[in-house]
Amino acid sequence: MIENGLLADSHGRVMRDLRVSVTDRCNFRCLYCLPETEAALNFYRGRWANFSNPAPITRNWTSAEKILSFEEIERLVRLAAQLGIDKIRLTGGEPLLRQELEILVGKIARIPGIKDLAMTTNGFLFEKKAKALLDAGLQRVSFSLDSLQRETFQKITGRDGLNEVLRGIELAQQMGFAPVKVNAVIIRGVNDQEIESLAEFGRIHDLCFRFIEFMPLDSGRAWQKDLVVPAREILQKLEARFSLRRIESDNKSETATRWRFADGRGEIGIIAPVSEPFCGHCNRIRLMADGKIRTCLFSAAEHDFRTLLRDGSSDDVLQSELKSVVWQKEDRHHIGEPEFVPPPRTMSCIGG
């Protein structure tokens, strides 16, 4: 099952990347995740007749006693690292809502075998925590920035926080986090008219800017393929405006197809899970804030590790169960196929 003590699945893929969600709570209400604002509901109502009665929004956040402690997360990361995991990304919800997150960062940074320790954030609280996170050992930060227009930003996120996010991105670069990545989820009729201006922002500020296709992970269950701006359309818009040079990579598990601007500043990436799935080389698993592990962002099944962490199970038992779970990893997601069923929990709960 496992070759050379590494985490491998039945399709021959070896896991290297563990996404760790530290909370399911978020201070944003994004269209593509938690569309709870009136602006979000109006957007969907205006396009889909069946959204007149949206899916009920549940705010039953996971209770504190069911959230993994820093010590429990550290233990599971350490055991995964012994099986070949070398890349950790902290996610949420919004990870900076987790109090004293820098303590967890410090614990993970000291685990042997961890080569890359990153975090994805909406950036709203980043200024307050940046120094503590850097001092603790955080190496990289990815920000969400779906619009450069204040009104559109607020429509997408439900919060008037554009200036805070922009300051956070600038601060991350000044402090030496590298590379600084910025992600934009592109939704037709919402922010697709900003593709070129977002790319130009990335070029001017020498950022790694990622465009991401809209995925069916929203709590309102309003996703429709018509709202997806496919990768080829994004690229056509960018190539009509900029001179881009394809970046070739030996890392087959990379999620983004990448280009560099001709002047050498900045980088563009397109992540296309809907129109151009990259499942064949996926090397990621996800630990959710409540201790469940998912082997795919769109998994129908979740595997309970919180109980094992708390019932006195040995490290050997935990590693054996982790190996068994990874062996069952799906060959692919089924977005766009007749049998596809969206996962029962949203991105905020699963972790990006």
Average pLDDT taken over every residue of the chain: 88
List, in order of start, the domains of the chain with CATH numbers.
Answer: 17-350 (3.20.20.70)
pLDDT, average across residues 213-232: 77
Which residues pair with residue 88 across a beta bridge? 18, 117
Which residues pair with residue 21 across a beta bridge? 91
Burial class (CB in 10 A: 0-12, 13-18, 19+), 311: exposed
pLDDT for res 238? 98
pLDDT digits (tens, 9 = 90+) for 15-26: 999 999 999 999
Give 143 or 253, the one with higher predicted confidence. 143
- Cα–Cα distance measured from residue 122 to residue 245, given in angstroms and rounded to the nearest whole number: 29
- One-letter amino acid for residue 301 of the chain: A
Rg over CA atoms, the chain: 20
pLDDT, average across residues 166-186: 97
Q: Which long-range contacts (CB under 8 A, 24 or more apart) does 279-284 make?
A: 279/330, 279/331, 279/332, 279/333, 280/332, 281/13, 281/252, 281/253, 282/13, 282/253, 282/329, 283/13, 283/14, 283/15, 283/16, 283/17, 283/253, 284/15, 284/17, 284/18, 284/19, 284/253
- Cα–Cα distance measured from residue 113 to residue 118, given in angstroms and rounded to the nearest whole number: 15
Give the lowest-confidence range in 52-56, 128-132, 305-309. 52-56
Give 62 or 205, the one with higher predicted confidence. 205
pLDDT digits (tens, 9 = 90+) for 241-266: 999 999 998 787 788 899 999 988 89
pLDDT for res 41? 64
Burial class (CB in 10 A: 0-12, 13-18, 19+), 1: exposed
Of the candidates 245, 165, 250, the one whose C-alpha atom is nearest the C-alpha of residue 203 is 245
Q: Tokens for 170?
A: 């600038």
- Cα–Cα distance measured from residue 254 to residue 105, given in angstroms and rounded to the nearest whole number: 24
Task: Report residue 10 CA to chain centroid gap.
Answer: 25
Which band of pLDDT confidence, cut at 50, 70 and 90, is reported for residue 301?
confident
**Dihedral, CA atoms, 282, 298, 347, 80, nearest 10 degrees?**
-50
Given a contact cutoff of 8 angstroms between Cβ atoms, the answer to whether 296 and 60 are in contact is no
Burial class (CB in 10 A: 0-12, 13-18, 19+), 120: buried
Indicate the pTM of the whole model: 0.90
- φ, ψ (nearest 5 deg) of residue 110: -90, 0
Task: Report residue 265 CA to chain centroid gap.
Answer: 25
pLDDT, average across residues 161-174: 98
